């Protein structure tokens, strides 16, 4: 019986959760933290804001948002892997961030009312959902008019030679890293598959507009191996 994308992704993240943070650093050469820091600077989150981090995984971005909104703000982190959330919850408790709440749920059907959040983020998670547009529309639904939705995701470099080296790294080297660091060749081969099939940054920007966002900004990182997409919800929406 063939697994659906949702079932396969769930199985991957339920099994690699203990090594996920280490592998993220290996895969991105430690750059994912700098990418997120720059993205947060561009977002300009204010004290007292309310934010949602979709596909929050082990909660690193939810925690960064929690620190930005302060004790009078509120952050929801949502993920469908209970094992990933367990790691995230330990981090949240260690930092005593009572303003951060982690919740088990599905990005395709966000369990929140319309027009609730000032910011909605998704970091390295959109590539793993069964329907990209459905998740973007759900994020659009729950953000406030005038609010901001941000996607930080692996992308595909366009620079000749570098592009070929990158694809070789992703197809051949990264799954081997997965085996060495996490004993998970199959699971990390999924990560490279999902990255290869993910829309390039121009296509994703189009999808943002199709989902209803305006003033869409795109910022590539590290030669295009990752990209930030930021969109606003119009006041009249």
State residue 21's pLDDT score. 62
Tokens for 125, please give them: 């998670």
- Cα–Cα distance between 197 and 216 in angstroms, integer? 22
State residue 225's pLDDT score. 83
101, 102, 108, 114: CA torsion to nearest 10: 0
State residue 2's pLDDT score. 54
pLDDT per residue as tens, the chain (237 positions): 456 777 776 776 666 656 666 666 655 556 788 899 999 999 999 999 999 999 999 999 999 999 999 999 999 999 999 999 999 999 999 999 999 999 999 999 999 999 999 999 999 889 889 899 999 999 999 999 999 999 998 887 777 777 777 777 767 776 676 666 656 556 666 666 777 778 999 999 999 999 999 999 999 998 888 899 999 999 875
The residues with which 51 forms a beta bridge, in sequence order, are 75, 119
| Sheet with 213-221: strands ordered across | 100-104, 74-79, 50-54, 117-123, 143-154, 226-233, 213-221
State residue 189's pLDDT score. 66
State residue 194's pLDDT score. 74
State residue 185's pLDDT score. 58
Kindly report the backbone phi and psi dihedral angles of residue 50, in degrees, each rounded to the nearest multiple of 5, phi listed first. Answer: -120, 130
State residue 42's pLDDT score. 96
State residue 176's pLDDT score. 72
State residue 16's pLDDT score. 61
State residue 214's pLDDT score. 98
């Amino acid at each position: 019986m063939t697994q659906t994308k949702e079932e396969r992704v769930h199985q991957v993240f339920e099994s690699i959760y203990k090594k996920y943070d280490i592998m993220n650093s290996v895969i991105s050469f430690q750059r994912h933290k700098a990418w997120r820091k720059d993205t947060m600077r561009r977002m300009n989150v204010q004290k007292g804001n309310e934010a949602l981090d979709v596909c929050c995984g082990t909660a690193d971005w939810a925690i960064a948002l929690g620190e930005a909104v302060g004790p009078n703000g509120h952050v929801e982190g949502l993920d469908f892997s209970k094992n990933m959330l367990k790691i995230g919850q330990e981090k949240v408790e260690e930092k005593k961030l009572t303003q951060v709440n982690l919740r088990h749920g599905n990005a395709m059907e966000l369990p929140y009312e319309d027009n609730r959040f000032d910011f909605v983020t998704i970091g390295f998670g959109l590539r793993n959902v069964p329907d990209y547009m459905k998740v973007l529309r759900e994020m659009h639904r729950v953000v406030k008019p005038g609010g901001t939705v941000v996607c930080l995701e692996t992308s595909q470099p366009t620079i000749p030679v570098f592009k070929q080296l990158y694809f070789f790294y992703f197809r051949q080297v990264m799954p081997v890293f997965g085996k060495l660091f996490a004993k998970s060749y199959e699971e990390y081969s999924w990560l490279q598959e999902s990255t290869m099939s993910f829309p390039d940054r121009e296509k994703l920007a189009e999808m943002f507009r199709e989902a209803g966002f305006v003033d869409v900004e795109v910022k590539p990182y590290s030669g295009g191996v990752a990209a930030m997409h930021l969109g606003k919800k119009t006041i009249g929406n």
